[in-house]
Structure 1
Amino acid sequence: MASVIPLSMLVAFIGMKFFGLSANLMSLGAIDFGLIVDGAVVMIENFISRMNEEGPRGKPKIDIIKRSAMEVARPITFGVVIIIAVYLPIFTLEGLESRMFRPMALTVCCALIGALVLTMTFVPALGSLTLKPYHHEGHEKLLKAMQAGYRRHLNRILNMRWLTIGSALVIVLVAVGSMRYLGTEFMPQLDEGALLIETRRLPSISLSESVEIATMVEKVVKTFPEVDTVVTKIGRPDLATEAMGVYQGDVYVILKPIEEWTGVRTKEALIQKMDQKLKDIPGVVYNFTQPLAMRLDEVISGVKADVAVKLFGDDPTVLEREAKRIETVLRRVGGSADVQTEMLSGSGEMQIEVKRDEMARYGLRVQDVKDIVEIAIGGGVATEIVDGRKKFDVIVRLPEASRKDLNIIQSLLVPAPGGERVLLGQIASIRFAEGPEVINREDAQRRIVIQANVRGRDIGSFVAEAQNRVDEQIKLPAGYFITWGGEFENQQRAMKRLYIVVPLSLCFIFLLLYMTFNSFVHASLIIINVPFALVGGVAALWLRGLNLSLSTAVGFIALFGVAVLNGVVMVSHINRLREEGYNLRESILEGASARLRPVLMTALVASLGFIPMALSTAPGAEVQRPLATVVIGGLITSTLLTLLVLPILYELISQKIEPAIQSILGGRKSYQTDLSDEPAVDGKLDSASNQDDVLNLTEIPEKQAGEENESTKS
């Protein structure tokens, strides 16, 4: 059985090569070896069971292997195909989430296809060579004890089915209802082993002053024993993809391994201590993030923070005023950190406001004033000088001291059309003031950004609370509006798509189940098993304090496939026993107890395969941990409810619903349906003793039903 794993992985590697996927954390990290061998587990378990039953009778081992393989080939094939089908919604994701999870889905599907082919070909061949044909009592004592105990308890539970079904339904409803109280986020925050401290100063600061402050910041950060290396970058040229002024800087902090930390134990506590110390440096605003996380936030929302509130409007003054009000509201929301507003003003400028009445008196135009100011302050070409074959413009303007003197600027003479010269101060009001350093636009509209990071709570609930508070407390002027940006946008987009695609995928799975059983009733019975898997997944998230994210959504998708496979294995065996002549109750008891081992083994093996991911603390494990937690917790409850609730539902449906459907369809399905709740005497139907209690539905047309019943009795 274990040999299926490396061979299946070989098929997965071939598929990765074909699709151009690289071997990385996402493409290989989420492969569960237990999931790969599920089909082989069911196949080999059936080999062993049949050999224990028929081997002592002298039947050839090769015949037993053939028959055993044919018995489970159909449910295994459809079960693996169903597991592959549950991954289809992942292929519909877009953007960043598609790049993260599509390689994983492709690799898992390739591995499952390889495992299915090997289970149908390699495993029977190997089993015929290696499995022992006879049963050894000593090896089966524990299994027999478990099956006997399970059979006794299941018989009791079948007799109080309404209490059991009601209890299971309450548990499912509680689990579904509690999901709304779990935190939400797009993806778990990765621990990059580094920090990025974004620093902002006044836009009017000089380069030398900015370097001096950056040096002070470096010295403070280096005092922490958890810090290994500090590198600072100030500004960025206009030719870069993102221009930055000298008032902006990025401080890259490389941290030591967490095992060497002495002062604090978590990165959140380290950031809090750094923030408190850095506040002693005046005139600087800080934003704490991580290098890759910052780039990710920037790609998603254009802002280097978890949450961005974008305010659009025409007047920069109004934008700044309303942005400060929004900033105040965000600071009062629990979990907010590094809240700051994009700086628009702060650059010194000269503002000249012309007096149009005075200009009209002298016949002057605005362009005349503009020309004089431009020559005096910016400079104008007066002549050219020639140096050999080179020409140079001679620029004439006022000296630097005069350009900063308001009286000299007001004394500039503007020639009028009538020949007179008018003082600039007579026809214009001149003053020095602070103006916008930068005017940002998005979709051809002016905007200002209020950004915030989130610490100590999930982003989803933070954004929901912040949106409610801003809507209640901020009333914007006409023509101004707000949009919200950040990684939660990706989460909302992905979840909206999954809300549409996952139900469609379940419909496709239902179609496969119908093809498996050729029964609408039994296909519905297996689908009912899916909500049971939610219970353990939600409970595991609560116990580990994890949030709902795209990673957990992928975990639930994978979990549904395994839950359906367990149901297919059990229902298929119960159906086969009924076709062989067992009555309803005995078919359920015998079929459920006979499939106890494969159901428990598939759940156990799949859970063990995910345990390393659930417990890993290595870099990148933050993404895989919620996925594995959901699968492990869901498999526990799904397996228990499959073993206890599914047989009850099978009996209830067979007694109450199936006969009505078969009567409508004209008796197209043949099962011996025991209307009493008592098991048969020795497992087989005794037509003489039970014929009054048995409703015999045959597959043959109604006109031949009487003949078939007579032949059966004889």
Structure 2
Amino acid sequence: MFLSDLSIKQPVFATMLAVSLVTLGIYSYRELSVDLFPDVEIPVLTIQTLYPGASPETVEREVTKRIEEAVNTISGVRHISSTTTEGFSVIVVEFRLGTNIHTAQQDAQAKIDGIRADFPLSMEQPVVQRIDFNAMPVVSIAVESPTMDIKALSSIAEKQIKRRLENVPGVGQVNLIGLARREIQILVDRNKLKALGLTYAEVSAALRRENLDVPAGKLDQGQIEPLVRVSGKFQQVEEFRNLIVATRNGRPVFLPEVAHIVDSIEERRSASLVDERQALALDIVKQSGANTVDVADGVEAAVAQMNAEFPSHIRLRTVVDRSIFIRESVEDVQLTLIIGAALTVLIVFLFLNSWRSTVITGLALPVSVISTFIIMAALGFTLNILTLMGLSLSIGLLIDDAIVVRENIVRHMHAGADHFTAAREATAEIGLAVMATTFTIVAVFVPVAFMGGIIGKFFYEFGITVGFAVLVSLYVSFTLDPMLSSRWYDPAADPSIQRSVVGRALDRLNAQIEKLRGVVAAALGWSLSHRWAVLLLGAVAIGSSFFLFGRLGSAFMPDADPGELRVSYKADPGISLDRSIEIARSVVAEVRKNPAVRYTYTTAGGTGGQPVNEGNIYVRLKEPGIRAHFTVVKADIRERLKRFHGLRTSVGEADEHAAETKPIQISVRGADLRQVASISEELMAQMRQVRGAADIDTTEEQPRPEVRIRIDRKATGDLGLDLGGVASTVTGLVAGEVVSQFEDPDGDSYDVRLRLNREDRTSNADLLAIDLPGHGGRELVPLSQIARLEDGAAPSKIRRLDLMREVRVSANTENRSLGEVVGDIMARSAAMKIPPGYTLDLTGEYEDMMESFGYVLQSLFLAVILIYAILASQFRSFLQPLAIMFSLPLSLLGVAAMLYLASDTLNMMSMIGVILLMGLVTKNAILVIDFANVQRRAGLSRREALVSASTVRLRPILMTTLAMIFGMLPLAFELGSGAEFRAPMARAVIGGLITSTLLTLVVVPVVYTYLDDAAGILAKWWGHKPHEKSRMPVTAPIK
């Protein structure tokens, strides 16, 4: 072969090429960032709109529906979902994969701008943003102080801590949870206003006009032009006491005469707890593309510095750190890669009985792995779970070609060839077969890299990484292997020197392998004489595999033990934040009774429009060795929370923030919301009967108490009032209105809010007593004269999907696989009587699982087609590849048996393992059939050629198979953090390799004979004579 001949003749050239690859690989490795998963762009937009003070129904009618209808016309829209709460609308627009999200964002903004005139005046501008699933909180910091009140602590957190964290490289945003921001409150006394004949509007206008800095032009002084400014902003809170509201009876009325001036805090809509202690929290969101580990390191350094600088009674503590799991997972994968490499090299040493051969063969590993970092850096990949797992799984593959080439060279030298001749001829003899086996592996990973759907985006880096590494290993086996074999060969053994203990043990091992050759020859001879029995054995193996697959559960991804979980709770709508904190403390106290819990971090309310009646409790668990497994802890906490009657709780993984992330989600849609709610209640009742369904809940919220003010329009007009003025006055006094800004000496601005005293806004009677400025402000009219009140209830949250209202029923799984639970749910739901026009649609993780399984099966089919094309080209035959590919279904028995024994499910990782297996199991069959063809061309009969090929190729088959198995053992044994996520793939491959290797040696030769007979029959039918012998040069068989 050209490459091997060139390398043997030009050893310096071959060495320098390898050194260059390694050097570039090391440099590229230093440039790679570390993350948990690949950086994947998913085309999703969010449109968030604030409409302060508006009810959910009003926000839906005036904002949500209008925006949905506008953006629905954008090209590429797949789904539109929305959640509307009090004063807040969130619309999520999902586009089809491949849509240019930047163009879509511009189109969405243009559509919204086009309907801007239809929006309410008090509504804020909608914010259109791309969702970056990697730009998420990576670290959460808690700030505690046993001596400072929440207001003082909030000031330090906002002015110092937040700003310093925002300066950390890679930090994109810092969100404060539980902040008690300073606010100057002007609390109007209704009775005093009435006694002085003043209106709310007069107080509001005085505050707006008296707290101003107004530019007044400039002076012309020739050389200079100083600016003139009327400085009227208050410098101290006490100055508000001197503000004149109006004049009555010839004397000024000062603000304190009608209102209390309070230096207070804003109305809090969020709170945070560390264990059961109240604290402030800062969620640090990384920038898109930033290295999670680097950001976390920078934040930790900033926290340590601030702890050293701040007084001892202020303590900053990291409560959530996503980089911990990333570090541990990446380090553990790197460790398994090293262990796998060591075990693989050990196998080589045991079989080749030479440390020189071991070094020559083992060089393929570091060169291939390190060289792969070049393509990773060039394509912008990261060191993540999938790329490192790909390298770890491919350890056996990377040394595979080198093993086959080196073993053949050694065999030629044992037959008497000199080392130069052996290196050249042995590589040429095995070269095409090695190329075929390598290209079949690459053919498997190309479809994986280009799978459709979201799952394909994630596995793109996995497929490219492994495919490139395998190609580099092929290059090494054709260059370094023959070059080093031709020059660095084992010296002739001196029979006078006694072998060491290790040497004698290796001799005994090789003697056993030679005995095994006889066993294989005898077994194959019997098989060729009893071909129908062997075919029946193969059929039974294939049938058994499908039987076992039917007994496996199915899931989207394997369950792992991340060492953390999240408890979500949802109380009745309308409760206060203080009540929500009380509930959170009670739940935390119950959760902490589990001995596996290390600490908890709770957020009640929060950012993004989450109401105060909802909360999330992050639970950090103790080290795995001193606690129960994650699933056991979850089940125990779930059982403990059952004592909270009326509280809707959910226990899930730590990245689950709401019901939308539960694996089971069923969307109930229809025209009548009441009918939809009724169907969802019936569905929940059915789901409660299904074993394994847990945390069953619905997005249907209990109605929130509401007081409706019904205006008498005739009375309003008679008294010189209008509806807009009435609404404005009531809103300002009850909800409060920001009328000005107060700037402290540090230059920080705070809201000045005007509203009624708390005592004057607690009951319906207080509302009716609000005075309105009638007849142009000349007289005060109580609200009771023009309105009546109705107590009612209104939705606290409204969900919509694809322009229709929906109710979503969700559930977690417990002690059963996702597929089994969903299967039972769908069987029960099929018996329900669903009215026409109403639908039940499975969404969520199950939908993702079924979609991804479809893409995997497509990739598997494409891989099989590509493998056949490569083999047909290699063997110049349409039939012989079928014999080799018969080894594919034979491997399935081992896959199913291994997954069943390990209690694994059929999930994405195990299915990717099956695809990988399709390329691996053909390697052994290729070696046997290729050498059998060589022997037949050399003059041996078909039976003799098959027996000779199976025995001669037994050693490389055993070496490559054991190398791959031992290389994957560390992954299969679940060593380290997140190992349960990776293990099913390795287990599937190991199980398939075991059965395929055992059956390939006897079944594939039998199938080969049938196909060879069929070729002869077809040749007679078509009038062709079968080729007697190939006229191509043939290397004589070596025995």
**Which TM-score applies when normalising by structure 2?**
0.57
User: Which residue of the partner structure matches residue 689 of structure 1?
Assistant: none
C-alpha RMSD over aligned residues: 3.5
After TM superposition, the structure 1 stretch with the greater mean CA deviation from structure 2, 76-85 or 399-408, is 399-408
User: Which residue of the partner structure matches residue 685 of structure 2?
Assistant: 328
Shift of 1:118: 0.6
User: Which residue of the partner structure matches residue 116 of structure 1?
Assistant: 474
- Which of the numbers 446, 449, 470 marks the counterpart of 1:91? 449
- Which of the numbers 640, 659, 665 marks the counterpart of 1:277? 640
Q: Secondary structure at the match of 1:452?
A: strand
User: Which residue of the partner structure matches residue 38 of structure 1?
Assistant: 400
Residue-pair matches, total: 637
Contact kept? 1:305, 1:451, Cα under 8 Å = yes
Pick closer, same or farther for the CA change 1:344–1:616 going to 2, 3 Å.
Answer: closer
Q: Distance between the aligned counterparts of 2:753 and 2:464, measured in 1?
A: 65
After TM superposition, the structure 1 stretch with the greater mean CA deviation from structure 2, 283-292 or 545-554, is 283-292
Contact kept? 2:732, 2:754, Cα under 8 Å = no
Shift of 1:268: 2.5
Q: Distance between the aligned counterparts of 1:341 and 1:174, measured in 2?
A: 41
Shift of 1:436: 0.8
Identity %: 25
| Residues 457-497 of structure 1: per-residue CA shift (max 9 Å, x gap) | 11112112212211212424x44322222212222112212
Runs of 4+ in 1 over 6 A off after TM superposition: 133-137, 352-355, 362-365, 392-399
Pick closer, same or farther for the CA change 1:402–1:552 going to 2, 3 Å.
Answer: closer
Kindly provide the amino acid, as one letter, of the partner of residue 15 in structure 1: I
- Which of the numbers 459, 471, 474 marks the counterpart of 2:830? 471
Contact kept? 2:670, 2:838, Cα under 8 Å = yes
Q: Distance between the aligned counterparts of 1:3 and 1:182, measured in 2?
A: 40
User: Which residue of the partner structure matches residue 454 of structure 1?
Assistant: 813
Pick closer, same or farther for the CA change 1:41–1:363 going to 2, 3 Å.
Answer: closer
User: Which residue of the partner structure matches residue 385 of structure 2?
Assistant: 25
Pick closer, same or farther for the CA change 1:373–1:333 going to 2, 3 Å.
Answer: farther
Q: Secondary structure at the match of 1:187?
A: coil
Pick closer, same or farther for the CA change 1:90–1:393 going to 2, 3 Å.
Answer: closer
Contact kept? 2:761, 2:767, Cα under 8 Å = no
Shift of 1:216: 1.8
User: Which residue of the partner structure matches residue 1014 of structure 2?
Assistant: 657
Kindly provide the amino acid, as one letter, of the partner of residue 455 in structure 2: E
Q: Secondary structure at the match of 2:661?
A: coil
- Which of the numbers 935, 947, 956 marks the counterpart of 1:589? 947
User: Which residue of the partner structure matches residue 368 of structure 2?
Assistant: 8
**Which TM-score applies when normalising by structure 1?**
0.82
- Which of the numbers 252, 255, 278 marks the counterpart of 2:621? 255
Kindly provide the amino acid, as one letter, of the partner of residue 20 in structure 1: G
Q: Distance between the aligned counterparts of 2:514 and 2:638, measured in 1?
A: 63
Contact kept? 2:604, 2:612, Cα under 8 Å = yes
Describe how 1:49-88 pairs up with structure 2 within 5 A.
49-53=411-415, 55=416, 59-88=417-446
Q: Distance between the aligned counterparts of 2:604 and 2:758, measured in 1?
A: 32
- The reply on whether 1:220 has 2:587 as its aligned counterpart is no
Structure with the largest fraction of helix: 1
| Residues 336-359 of structure 1: per-residue CA shift (max 9 Å, x gap) | 11111224333111357899xxx9
Kindly provide the amino acid, as one letter, of the partner of residue 45 in structure 1: E
Shift of 1:539: 0.8
Contact kept? 1:335, 1:455, Cα under 8 Å = yes
- The reply on whether 1:614 has 2:977 as its aligned counterpart is no
| Residues 3-22 of structure 1: per-residue CA shift (max 9 Å, x gap) | 11111112211121122212
User: Which residue of the partner structure matches residue 173 of structure 2?
Assistant: none
Kindly provide the amino acid, as one letter, of the partner of residue 950 in structure 2: A
Q: Secondary structure at the match of 1:37?
A: helix
Contact kept? 1:51, 1:133, Cα under 8 Å = no
| Residues 522-574 of structure 1: per-residue CA shift (max 9 Å, x gap) | 11111121111111011111111100011011101111111111111100000
- Which of the numbers 566, 573, 586 marks the counterpart of 2:924? 566
Pick closer, same or farther for the CA change 1:224–1:37 going to 2, 3 Å.
Answer: same
Pick closer, same or farther for the CA change 1:393–1:465 going to 2, 3 Å.
Answer: closer
- Which of the numbers 897, 901, 909 marks the counterpart of 1:543? 901
Q: Distance between the aligned counterparts of 2:642 and 2:544, measured in 1?
A: 46
| Residues 403-429 of structure 1: per-residue CA shift (max 9 Å, x gap) | 6149969x99x99xxxxx9x999x999
Kindly provide the amino acid, as one letter, of the partner of residue 467 in structure 1: M
Kindly provide the amino acid, as one letter, of the partner of residue 585 in structure 1: R
Q: Distance between the aligned counterparts of 1:129 and 1:598, measured in 2?
A: 22
Shift of 1:393: 12
After TM superposition, the structure 1 stretch with the greater mean CA deviation from structure 2, 29-38 or 331-340, is 29-38
User: Which residue of the partner structure matches residue 291 of structure 1?
Assistant: 654
| Residues 551-604 of structure 1: per-residue CA shift (max 9 Å, x gap) | 011101111111111111100000000000001111111111111111111111
User: Which residue of the partner structure matches residue 154 of structure 1?
Assistant: 524
Q: Secondary structure at the match of 2:834?
A: coil
| Residues 302-356 of structure 1: per-residue CA shift (max 9 Å, x gap) | 803121122223444333333222211111111011111224333111357899x
Pick closer, same or farther for the CA change 1:406–1:326 going to 2, 3 Å.
Answer: farther
Describe how 1:96-175 pairs up with structure 2 within 5 A.
96-132=454-490, 140-175=510-545
Q: Which runs of 5+ in 2 are unaligned?
A: 1-360, 496-503, 742-751, 776-780, 1032-1039
Describe how 1:290-309 pairs up with structure 2 within 5 A.
290-292=653-655, 294=656, 303-309=660-666
Pick closer, same or farther for the CA change 1:338–1:363 going to 2, 3 Å.
Answer: closer
Pick closer, same or farther for the CA change 1:378–1:23 going to 2, 3 Å.
Answer: closer
| Residues 378-402 of structure 1: per-residue CA shift (max 9 Å, x gap) | 4699xxx999xxxx99999999569
Contact kept? 2:867, 2:919, Cα under 8 Å = no
Kindly provide the amino acid, as one letter, of the partner of residue 252 in structure 1: Y
Shift of 1:498: 2.5
Pick closer, same or farther for the CA change 1:496–1:393 going to 2, 3 Å.
Answer: closer
Q: Secondary structure at the match of 1:246?
A: coil
Contact kept? 2:409, 2:423, Cα under 8 Å = yes
| Residues 89-148 of structure 1: per-residue CA shift (max 9 Å, x gap) | 212234542343222222211210110001011101111223348799967533321112
Contact kept? 1:667, 1:698, Cα under 8 Å = no
Contact kept? 1:197, 1:286, Cα under 8 Å = yes
Shift of 1:665: 5.9
- The reply on whether 1:635 has 2:993 as its aligned counterpart is yes
Q: Distance between the aligned counterparts of 2:707 and 2:410, measured in 1?
A: 92
Q: Distance between the aligned counterparts of 2:908 and 2:530, measured in 1?
A: 40
Kindly provide the amino acid, as one letter, of the partner of residue 14 in structure 1: I
User: Which residue of the partner structure matches residue 195 of structure 1?
Assistant: 565
Q: Secondary structure at the match of 2:611?
A: strand
Q: Distance between the aligned counterparts of 1:79 and 1:86, measured in 2?
A: 11
Q: Distance between the aligned counterparts of 1:393 and 1:341, measured in 2?
A: 38
Kindly provide the amino acid, as one letter, of the partner of residue 706 in structure 2: E
Kindly provide the amino acid, as one letter, of the partner of residue 683 in structure 2: I
Q: Distance between the aligned counterparts of 1:218 and 1:141, measured in 2?
A: 65
- The reply on whether 1:443 has 2:802 as its aligned counterpart is yes
Pick closer, same or farther for the CA change 1:667–1:38 going to 2, 3 Å.
Answer: farther
Q: Which runs of 5+ in 1 are unaligned?
A: 416-420, 671-696, 701-714
Q: Distance between the aligned counterparts of 1:498 and 1:386, measured in 2?
A: 60
Pick closer, same or farther for the CA change 1:669–1:573 going to 2, 3 Å.
Answer: farther
Q: Distance between the aligned counterparts of 2:753 and 2:536, measured in 1?
A: 93
Shift of 1:65: 2.1
Pick closer, same or farther for the CA change 1:456–1:445 going to 2, 3 Å.
Answer: same
- The reply on whether 1:522 has 2:880 as its aligned counterpart is yes
User: Which residue of the partner structure matches residue 913 of structure 2?
Assistant: 555
Contact kept? 2:446, 2:467, Cα under 8 Å = no
Contact kept? 1:669, 1:698, Cα under 8 Å = no
Q: Distance between the aligned counterparts of 1:661 and 1:98, measured in 2?
A: 42
Pick closer, same or farther for the CA change 1:586–1:344 going to 2, 3 Å.
Answer: same
